[in-house]
Amino acid sequence: MLLFAIIFLSIYAGMHALVFWGISPLLKGHQALPFLTLVWMVVMTLLPIAIRLLDHHGLPTIARPLSWIGYTWMGFLWLAFAAYSLQGLVHLLRKVIGFPAHPLHGPVAAGAILLLVTAVGLYGLYEAHNLQTEQVHLTSGKLPIGHPGIRIVQISDLHLGLIHQQETLAPIISRIRQLHPDLVVATGDIVDAELSHLDGLAELWQGIDAPLGMYAITGNHEYYAGLEQAVDFLQRSGFTLLRGEALQLTPFLTLLGVDDPGRSGISEDAPLPQGLRGDGFTVLLKHRPIPPRDAAGRFDLQLSGHAHRGQIFPFNLLTRLRYPLQDGLSPLSGGGQIYASRGTGTWGPPMRVLSPPELTLFEITPGESP
């Protein structure tokens, strides 16, 4: 924990330092403003650690409003860091190779960037609440002609906890009910890091009527929250946990589910357990959007989440380096397809930019397999 705090604070302080450099032209000529800005940035750098400590020691009434302040600031800071990093790169290139100076160099450029960051951040706060229903139509020769089809709703990366509570979950449950799913699957990170904020939330899930049931797998945050307690919450919510298991739900549909590596040190692309296979149309639930090794022909559709498609642009460019299949439906070279959800909630900043939250409805009908 101490090592993590040191690494986090070092990186976060560095981000603040670069943003301070970026806005410094706006601070010149003001006697107190540079000092006050620096004090604010020091407080904001330390606030996430303070929030975690307050929450851990049973002070959620203090931790929650501070979390909205601290994590909202984090979102704006990430945007400012990206923008001023680009400006700094241009500035460095100009110095090194004589790149032409931008005509808006100085306080005008700094102010324009700050206004842009503010506007994009405010939009990001709106986008985080603009839940999208993505509809994916698939056909499969494994369903007999005349079969009515299967409706599966996927929810992922909700991160229930200090920020996301009943006011987040209730409209999501209502939307799921409106989709009339046969099956509901949760592909990990339904909870965040502390489970003391989930009172009354398990009962909300029980309002969903899915004839084939509700199934879930673990994500990395179920481990951070405490695996035993997270599993208990999911089970009380009506989910059946699949942990290296296969269930034949109908003669034409099988569901596979595997644990996230979490803290176990298992590779992200670890092969499926031997004997884990299904008959009919087979859906694999795996938190991280990386296909398992040596699994060709053992499933038709992998459902994943985890990457949030970066959550806040331009960080999707970084997450894509780690998870190239981080967004939407993609064919797999060995057969089958993978769908990576952008996630239904947020992690850290309650903000999304060019990555709106989603529920995903899969409608699988008889026809030619892809």
Residue with tokens 């942990």: 243
Which of 290, 208, 279, 272 minimizes the C-alpha distance to 249? 279
Query: Collapsing DSSP states into helix, strand and coil, what is residue 190?
Result: coil
Six token digits for residue 15: 């981000």
Asked if residues 260 and 217 have their Cβ atoms less than 8 Å apart, the reply is yes
Which of 24, 22, 17, 21 minimizes the C-alpha distance to 44? 17
Cβ atoms within 10 A of the Cβ of 297, count? 10
What is the rounded CA–CA span in Å between residue 81 and residue 75? 10
| pLDDT tens sequence across 48-64 | 999 989 988 878 889 99
What is the rounded CA–CA span in Å between residue 58 and residue 71? 19
- H helix or E strand, kind and range, residue 291: none
User: Assign residue 310 a region: left if phi > 0, alpha if psi is -120 to 50, beta otherwise?
Assistant: left
DSSP state of 308: G
Asked if residues 340 and 358 have their Cβ atoms less than 8 Å apart, the reply is no
- H helix or E strand, kind and range, residue 366: strand 358-366
Q: In 220-309, which ranges are continuous DSSP H helix?
A: 220-225, 227-236
The greatest distance separating any two alpha carbons of the chain, rounded to the nearest whole angstrom, comes to 77
Mean pLDDT of the chain: 91
Whole-Å CA distances, 43 to 33, 63, 73, 77, 146:
15, 15, 11, 13, 63
Angle between the N-to-C axes of helices 33-56 and 60-97, in degrees from 0 to 180, rounded to the nearest 10: 140
Confidence of residue 182 (pLDDT cuts 50, 70, 90): very high
pLDDT surpassing 70 at residue 214: yes
Residue with tokens 């010149």: 28
Characterize the bridge pairing of strands 150-155 and 183-186. parallel
Show the domains of the chain with their CATH numbers: 2-127 (no CATH), 132-366 (3.60.21)
| pLDDT tens sequence across 142-153 | 999 999 999 999
pLDDT at residue 59, as a whole number: 86
Query: Collapsing DSSP states into helix, strand and coil, what is residue 149?
Result: coil
Confidence of residue 265 (pLDDT cuts 50, 70, 90): low
> What's this model's pTM, rounded to 2 decimal places?
0.93
